[in-house]
Amino acid sequence: MPIYQRGILYGTPSIREVAAAGLGEVLTITSTKYLVGPFIIKITGPLLRIVGDRNPSNVKIAILKTLGLILVKGGPALRAFVPQFQTTFVKALSDPSRQVRLEAIAALSLLMPISSRVDPLIKELVSGAAGKAIIIEGVAATAVQAATLQALATVLKIGGAKAKLPSTIPSALDASEKLLESHDEGVRHGAAKVLGEACALLGSESSIEVLRSIVVKHHDNSSDSRHGKACAIRYILSTKDGSAVEEAIPSLKKLVCEYLYDDKSIVRESACVALGAVIGRSPDTKVAFRDCESVLLKLLGNSKEPMEIHRAIARGFCVALMMIKKDQRIETMGLPLLNECLQQALSGSQRVQFAYNDVLWLALDVPSGQDGLKRYSGMSLFDNSRSMTTLHGKVLSKINRITILDD
């Protein structure tokens, strides 16, 4: 540790990077009980002091990763350092490097369990999301704005319940609503995630009010606006409070189905995912799947559709399946759609195959064993049953978690 710390404090950029990564490796293999109290504090200080220096992005990435490991290992012992951690991570959200910004978002998520005062942080992120604190111009400015929104959504999801001031969460909701029509795709997507988390914290009345506003104002010639609204529908319905918006489902379904035939590909992609959320939150998900079955089969069977549409449909399936009880997914989704997902998993581009592997992994509830496979085989024809059994043994059983929703 002394060698690594000296390298971090006084080394060249390349030595700092290696030293920070080396310290991270030592932390990984050290039992938590040996890292309590003054020891973990001694490690933390030097990293926080130099992370703000003019280091290359690779050095900042290594330091932020190690700080994340320190938070995991140190836990409550680092409570006194929360303000410094917070300042460091928020500042890193404005870094020109995308990977630095991603590491900062991940680190903020690890900070939330030991942070007791989240109101100032949320206020600062809301200000940054609105563009008030961004001094970089051009494309980089929107990238920083999008990262700030992603960070705000993460903070709301993990620590939003700790907010004490009555205006904190509504301020995040108001800011995200305004940004749904931004000219930047990443900003719209981030705003939709913030909107979903804010609605979850404020309750079903806020969710219904926002969704009703989206439906009423759906006559919009802007593709940016349509994309933002489709993303918002997906994230509002995907939150834990999404089940309380059943009254809005028919109108949302009609709107999303309109977007499936939009002239902009990005709107169609987001509509495919939003449709999955609408199906998953429908009062009768089995009926909802049957109502949309012909449309989905037609899209999947069209070889002229771009790969991203097929992947978006897979993402929508995963969103829907995660809202359905594990032992009911096969019968709810239905044999025709499962058979088509099997065909997509066996053919087409590798990225499409990976996407539908995730769908089948969820549908068959692979982590629970082979019960799902047996139920599918009992419903399907011999050829499909044999193909699914082979895929299950060679591919699905080796998947640890789905990645198609990692956006």
pLDDT digits 0-9 by tens, 297-321: 999 999 889 999 999 999 999 999 9
| Position 71, amino acid | L
- Nearest CA to 92 out of 118, 130, 53 is that of 53
Q: 34 exposed, middle or buried (CB, 10 Å; 0-12, 13-18, 19+)?
A: exposed
| Position 217, amino acid | K
Q: What is the DSSP letter of 281?
A: T
* Whole-number pLDDT of residue 222: 86
Distance (Å, whole) CA 364 – CA 397: 10
* Whole-number pLDDT of residue 146: 93
Cβ 159 vs Cβ 171: under 8 Å = no
Q: What is the DSSP letter of 256?
A: H
- Nearest CA to 202 out of 172, 234, 243 is that of 172
Over its C-alpha atoms, the chain yields an Rg (Å, rounded) of: 23
Find the angle CA(252)-CA(310)-CA(301) to the nearest 5 degrees.
100
* Whole-number pLDDT of residue 355: 96
Where does 239-324 have alpha helices with state H?
A: 249-259, 265-280, 285-301, 307-321
Please tell me whether residue 170 adopts helix, strand or coil conformation. helix
Distance (Å, whole) CA 27 – CA 162: 29
- Nearest CA to 198 out of 218, 224, 180 is that of 180
Give the end-to-end CA distance of the chain in Å, rounded to a whole number.
Answer: 36
Domains and CATH numbers, the chain: 1-115 (1.25.10.10), 117-258 (1.25.40), 284-407 (no CATH)
Give the number of residues written for the chain: 407
Please write down the long-range contacts of 397-404, taking CB distance under 8 Å and 24 or more positions apart.
397/366, 399/357, 399/358, 399/361, 399/366, 402/318, 402/358, 402/361, 402/362, 403/354, 403/358, 404/311, 404/314, 404/315, 404/318, 404/354, 404/355, 404/358, 404/359
Cβ 244 vs Cβ 204: under 8 Å = yes
Kindly give, in sequence order, each residue whose CB lies less than 8 Å from that of residue 312, ignoring residues fewer than 6 positions away: 268, 269, 270, 272, 273
SS (H, E, C) 19-81: HHHHHHHHHHHCCHHHCCCHHHHHHHHHHHHHCCCCCCHHHHHHHHHHHHHHHHHHHHHHHHH
Please tell me whether residue 220 adopts helix, strand or coil conformation. coil
Confidence (pTM): 0.89
Q: Give Cα separations from 165 to 103, 117, 124, 125, 132 (angstroms).
A: 28, 10, 14, 15, 21
Per residue of the chain (407 residues), give pLDDT as tens. 889 989 988 889 899 999 999 999 998 998 888 887 778 888 888 888 887 767 888 999 999 999 999 998 888 888 888 999 999 999 999 888 899 999 999 999 999 999 988 999 999 999 988 876 555 544 478 889 999 999 999 999 999 999 999 999 999 999 999 999 899 999 999 999 999 999 999 988 888 888 888 877 756 678 999 999 999 999 999 987 666 788 889 999 999 999 999 999 999 999 999 999 999 999 999 999 999 999 999 999 998 899 999 999 999 999 999 999 999 999 999 999 999 999 999 987 899 999 999 999 999 999 999 999 999 999 999 999 999 999 999 999 999 999 999 86
